[in-house]
Chains A and B, each alone.
Chain A
Amino acid sequence: MAPVTTERDLRLDLFRGLALWLIFLDHIPSNAVSWITIRNYGFSDATEIFVFISGYTAAFVYGRAMRQHGFIVASARILKRAWQIYVAHVFLFAIYLAEIAYVAHSFDNPLFTEEMGVLDFLRNPDVTIIQALLLKFKPVNMDVLPLYIMLLVGFSPVLWLLLRSPSFALIASAILYALMYKFSWNISAYPSGVWVFNPFAWQLLFVFGAWCALGGAKRLAPFLSSRVTLALAAAYLAFAFFVAMTWYFPRVATFLPRIIGDNIYPIDKTNLDILRILHFLALAVIVVNFVPRDWPALRSVWCEPAIICGQHSLAIFCLGVFLAFAGHFVFTEVSNRLLTHVIVSVAGIAVMVATAAVLAWYKNIERGPRPPTVKPGLAGGDA
């Protein structure tokens, strides 16, 4: 079995925290501040970071549980975690219903008669609420948690395999991804269509994260630090950046050979396009080369806000979705000026950090007077 370091890797917390901030900014519709987020400069976005790190931490936490207490205990803990996420998702859905019901009640404009039809499901709540509980009806921006639930529900056997034959598990995951493309596998959604984040596709990144946590990262280390890899990653990021610029400056597009455009589009988020995976990997290569594990800044006060958010990712993710609703509400009800966008964005992140700090404090008092070293190695906070 591959040896696993038990020291907390703060980089995971840091980047998951940053990903949560970016997801929050991207979730507020038409948020002017969201131009700073990475999705505008390449193919992948914060979702990839979140899913990868979630796989990494899940393997880290439950991998140890499976080694120490066996398959049944670890599986039970994984399912309990999935249940917690399900409850969180239903809670968010309740908030969403409240928002929708308010808009349906208070807004009317002949220009948007068609769009207001999206509220019609309030007329048959029996069907929609059941479909929501079945994870088939998923309102906008509420697709990540159902994906996470599915990934965890299927995780026990994958983890079992990862602990025995990591390479085989990773290859099996890649084969599932390929079969998904070949046979267009996805889960159906309500009222129509399929899951926005196809679990058969996104599992690849989750399993890859888990594989890295269970010794894969060590095995990749020589490859990751080679100059050739670094150069390739930088070149790919530059290419993606150039392509991204053609979305904003159509004139730039004339420099993009047609054959490239014909081959890369559409860049499919639902099925985790290979270009997106490569973009995430390139970003990861750059990060592991320039942000060492023992980087002093990781312990500085500057990184702490993001790190504590990353350590309480489920709560902070849910809070972010709620704050995005609230932020959009402020834009429509109060003011839609640029300054409001900046204030709402900064205030939202501040609330996320403050909440994470309170949660950390709770964890501390509930743990009692024991020193935190009693529970070592929770790399990446909660799973």
Chain B
Amino acid sequence: MRRLWALLALAVLAGPARAEMPAECQVARHLVEDSPRLAGVTAAIAGRHLNVLVLGAGSSVLPGKGGANLAYPERLRLALAEALPGVAVTVTTDVIPHRTAATMVDALAVDLDRTKPDLLVWQTGTVDAMESVDRDQFNQALERGVGIAEAAGADVILINAQYSPRTESMIALGSYAEIMRWVAAQHEIPLFDRFAVMKLWADLGTFDFFSTTKKLDTAGRVHDCIGRLVATLVVDAARPPAQGGQ
């Protein structure tokens, strides 16, 4: 159902391109619009220093030697630096595969202390769904993580699971995605709906998620787009209200 609406929305909204994003990223542009504001990031940009912490598990990195450079945290840094000339952008990552939300929260306090970020980008949900972690515990872990990040003065963005068609009948993402959406709404923080973005790409044939490969070319382009789209979300959500809107 969502995909039909997405396609419809795309047909209606396909206005002129704004940023110089590759067309393959641009098709999902409408999915990162109208996010809640990121006041801390607005202030950081005004102060010409934006410090981002990416907390994530295995889908925030790509394998191999060049993997870290191709993965979305680094692409996010490049896209932010390009979109925010004159602002010193740093991105620190704490990315270790196969971590549940609760495990990441345990690491988060140290990370926050060490990096003092203006913005936490938190990718989670996949491993919890794979291990069918108790939904209440997942919910509480999210609440706790968002809580300590906000208490440490950081804005927060959540990133949900990837759309992975081959494993779709083996990982029940649904309720975990709903809990993330719910926590984001409760705290009025942006949710980068990576699942919807990748699902749209799969439906439109933008990227092929079905074929078997060991090469990083498609994976690199996908992560590049995700980095750019997260950057777009951040820049839009940090635009001061006076200049807000379209």
Contact = CB atoms under 8 A, between A and B. Distances in A.
Q: Are A and B physically bound partners?
A: yes
Interface of A: 28-30, 32, 34-35, 40, 99-100, 103, 106-119, 139-141, 184, 189, 191-194, 196, 248-250, 261, 265-266, 268-270, 324-325, 328, 331-332, 336
Interface stretch (B57-65, B105-113, B238-246): B57-65
B169 A115 contact: no
Given A114-B98, A115-B126, A192 B132 contact: yes
B59 A115 contact: yes
Most chain A CB atoms below 10 A, which of B4, B64, B67, B135:
B135
Of all A-B residue pairs in the complex, the 8 with the closest CB atoms, nearest first, are: A114-B58, A35-B1, A29-B168, A111-B219, A193-B132, A115-B164, A115-B167, A140-B172
Given A110-B63, A110-B214, A266-B182, A248 B199 contact: no
Given A111-B209, A112-B164, A269-B175, A249 B3 contact: no
Contact of B214 (A108, A248, A332): A108
A99 B179 CA distance: 29
B43 interface: no
Nearest to A267: B178
Interface residues of B, number: 55
B170 interface: yes
Nearest to A138: B132
Contact of B64 (A110, A117, A139, A140): A110
Contacts of B203: 336
Nearest to B172: A140
A270 B175 CA distance: 10
Nearest to A251: B34
B7 to A, nearest CB: 10
B58 A35 contact: no
Nearest to B63: A110
Contacts of A40: 1
A113 B63 CA distance: 8
Given A109-B211, A114-B59, A250-B34, A140 B5 contact: no
Most chain B CB atoms below 10 A, which of A99, A193, A250, A325:
A193
Contacts of B219: 109-111
B165 A184 contact: no
Contacts of A324: 169
B127 interface: yes
A196 B175 CA distance: 10
B185 A261 contact: yes
A116 B167 contact: yes
Contacts of B210: 332, 336
A328 B58 contact: no
Given A106-B212, A265-B182, A269-B175, A114 B97 contact: yes
Nearest to B161: A115
Contacts of B182: 265-266
B179 A107 contact: no
Contact of B169 (A119, A194, A268, A325): A325
B220 to A, nearest CB: 9
Contacts of B97: 113-114, 117
Contact of A332 (B3, B135, B139, B166): B166
Interface string B159-187: 00010111111111001001100100100
Interface in B195-216: 199, 202-203, 209-216
A109 B209 contact: yes
Contact of B58 (A113, A194, A249): A113
Nearest to B67: A110
B139 A266 contact: yes
B168 A118 contact: no
B131 A192 contact: yes
A268 B3 CA distance: 24
A140 B169 contact: yes
Given A110-B214, A114-B127, A266-B139, A331 B165 contact: yes
B170 A139 contact: yes
A114 B61 CA distance: 9
Contacts of B175: 269-270
A328 B215 CA distance: 25
B117 to A, nearest CB: 23
B202 A336 contact: yes
Contacts of B199: 30
B130 A117 contact: yes
B2 A248 contact: yes
Given A140-B171, A192-B134, A266-B139, 6 more contacts: A106-B212, A112-B166, A115-B130, A324-B169, A336-B165, A336-B210
A100 B4 contact: no
A149 to B, nearest CB: 19
Most chain A CB atoms below 10 A, which of B64, B127, B167, B219:
B167
